[in-house]
């Protein structure tokens, strides 16, 4: 198509007939925000950006793309971290932005479900649930801009996976436009349906390579009547792991968050994020943000106090402080959610999103941190994140002002170091961010060969022409 202007013009004209003239963007400036990822690490090119408003329009766009031999890159809020939502620059791609598909089709508190289109933001779903005294528990730092279609396509995790699971656990039904333009209507509210293959799970986590999610039925939960949030200081990751095990045994499903933060991470947030302050007078090597939820008015506070007293008695934690108000709770959460932005403001950072069995986490942190200094003596290990479900963002912070371009060889060596230890511990190189463009080579080198063959078979069966999101995952 790129060698002949006439077919391109015909394709773009056809797209404008489907979605309307204003909703096909083909100027350089207009397309720019859609062609780079959130971290500004990947830049692509596109014939145009198409912004459909309905599932029927998405279907028609896909059919026209197949007719012209074009590829489609589905895009939601474009908040991903692995380059999965931007084109790879082949010359035949269009970006299909789902932001106009922002309708909340139904909120059904009786069945504890909400049906939304792909362009609805995560924050809007949370708000709609709250208005009927329900909870949608998925929570991310980017929830104000992350869209439901993207969180489904990446099987997003976040800070409440410990209690509620990741996005896969929160989806009951999907509406999906297939690579040939057909629409699969699987918008079911059923909690139990044992009629053959569970098709929705093919598309959850597939990063838009098997189908384009246009709507979903999501699970809701009764809104907690009380929450108790604390920040605790402790000496070692092993202390944190012991604390977690004890808290789970005492609180069960009422333990909803358990986030690990190193002192370096806290220092960066205090340095770069406004309106933050040290939560505990004494300095500790490590901190845990822990939260409990209860269906009784005083239940969370009573449970949190009992857990904290036991943790101090057993010397798992050195000190802790409770949030005394909603404002203070927000302040505590800012210490955790401000970490990615603080890293960006500080210097070049090298990021990983891995998971290992819980008991392996202290050893992983110790071994990788020690060996990293042999690669870059001035490197600052910064492992943090969702200790409660075994998912760490094992990041590294360079010296302030360091240019990442100058560290390409060292960066690759650090990637290899982290992944080597993760695989020795039978973990995963991607826990919640996905594969995208960033981890294609690592997955090809580390994934079980039979699993890779099955993935390629599915891709070939559903998308034989390679129409959807080329250059991602496989």
pLDDT of residue 12: 96
Torsion angle (degrees, nearest 10) of CA 181, 185, 187, 190: -140
Parts of the chain with a pLDDT under 70: 1-6, 401-406
pLDDT tens, position by position, 313-336: 999 999 999 999 999 999 999 999
CB 450 within 8 A of CB 436: no
Nearest-angstrom CA–CA distance, 296 and 303? 11
Q: Which two tokens stand for residue 57?
A: 């329009």
pLDDT of residue 135: 98
Q: Which two tokens stand for residue 321?
A: 């402080």
Q: Which is it for the CA torsion 85, 87, 92, 97, positive or negative? A: positive
CB 401 within 8 A of CB 388: no
Q: Where are the alpha helices (DSSP H) in 209-355?
A: 237-251, 263-272, 299-313, 326-337, 339-346
The CA angle 149-340-84, to the nearest 5 degrees, is 35
Percent of the chain beyond pLDDT 90?
Answer: 92
Domains annotated for the chain, with CATH where assigned, are 5-97 (3.30.43.10), 104-222 (3.30.465.10), 226-340 (3.30.70.2190), 349-433 (3.30.70.2740)
DSSP-based three-state secondary structure for 106 = strand
pLDDT of residue 99: 98
pLDDT of residue 404: 62
DSSP-based three-state secondary structure for 53 = coil
Q: Which two tokens stand for residue 442?
A: 């690592």
pLDDT of residue 38: 82
Secondary-structure breakdown of the chain: helix, strand, coil percentages, each rounded to the nearest 5: 40, 20, 40
pLDDT of residue 360: 98
Q: Which is it for the CA torsion 152, 157, 160, 161, positive or negative? A: positive
pLDDT tens, position by position, 169-189: 999 999 999 999 999 999 999
pLDDT of residue 2: 46
pLDDT of residue 204: 98
pLDDT of residue 44: 93
DSSP-based three-state secondary structure for 30 = helix
CB 343 within 8 A of CB 330: no
Going by C-alpha positions, the residue among 6, 67, 56, 96 that lies closest to residue 465 is: 67
Cα R_g (the chain), whole angstroms = 23
């Amino acid at each position: 198509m790129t060698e002949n202007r006439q077919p391109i013009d015909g394709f773009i004209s056809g797209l404008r007939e489907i979605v309307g003239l204003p909703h096909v963007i083909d100027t350089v400036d207009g397309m720019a925000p859609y062609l780079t990822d959130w971290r500004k690490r990947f830049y692509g090119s596109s014939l145009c950006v198409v912004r459909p408003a309905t599932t029927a329009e998405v279907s028609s766009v896909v059919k026209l793309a197949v007719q012209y031999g074009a590829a489609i890159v589905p895009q939601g809020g474009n908040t991903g971290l692995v380059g999965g939502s931007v084109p790879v620059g082949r010359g035949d791609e269009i970006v299909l932005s789902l932001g106009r598909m922002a309708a909340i089709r139904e909120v059904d508190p009786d069945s504890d479900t909400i049906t939304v289109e792909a362009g609805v933001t995560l924050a809007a779903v949370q708000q709609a649930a709250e208005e009927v005294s329900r909870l949608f528990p998925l929570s991310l730092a980017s929830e104000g801009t992350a869209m439901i279609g993207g969180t489904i396509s990446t099987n997003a995790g976040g800070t409440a996976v410990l209690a509620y699971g990741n996005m896969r656990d929160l989806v009951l039904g999907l509406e999906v436009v297939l690579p040939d333009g057909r629409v699969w209507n699987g918008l079911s509210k059923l909690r139990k349906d044992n009629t053959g293959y569970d098709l929705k799970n093919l598309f959850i986590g597939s990063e838009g390579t098997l189908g384009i999610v246009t709507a979903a039925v999501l699970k809701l939960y009764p809104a907690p009547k009380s929450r108790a949030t604390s920040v605790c200081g402790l000496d070692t990751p092993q202390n944190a792991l012991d604390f977690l095990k004890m808290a789970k045994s005492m609180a069960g499903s009422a333990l909803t968050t358990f986030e690990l933060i190193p002192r370096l991470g806290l220092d960066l947030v205090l340095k770069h994020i406004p309106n933050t302050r040290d939560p505990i007078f004494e300095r500790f090597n490590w901190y845990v943000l822990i939260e409990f939820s209860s269906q009784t008015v005083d239940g969370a506070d009573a449970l949190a106090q009992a857990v904290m007293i036991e943790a101090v008695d057993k010397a798992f934690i050195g000190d802790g402080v409770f949030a005394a108000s909603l404002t203070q709770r927000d302040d505590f959460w800012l210490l955790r959610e401000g970490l990615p932005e603080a890293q960006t403001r500080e210097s070049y950072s090298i990021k990983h999103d891995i998971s290992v069995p819980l008991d392996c986490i202290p050893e992983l942190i110790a071994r990788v941190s020690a060996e990293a200094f042999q690669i870059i003596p001035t490197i600052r290990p910064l492992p943090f994140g969702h200790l409660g479900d075994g998912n760490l963002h094992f990041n590294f912070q360079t010296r302030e002002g360091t240019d990442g371009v100058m560290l390409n060889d060292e960066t690759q060596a650090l990637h290899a170091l982290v992944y080597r230890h993760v695989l020795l511990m039978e973990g995963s190189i991607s826990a919640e961010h996905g594969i995208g463009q960033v981890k294609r080579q690592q997955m090809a080198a580390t994934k079980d060969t039979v699993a890779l063959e099955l993935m390629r078979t599915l891709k070939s069966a559903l998308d034989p022409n390679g129409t959807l999101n080329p250059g991602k995952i496989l």
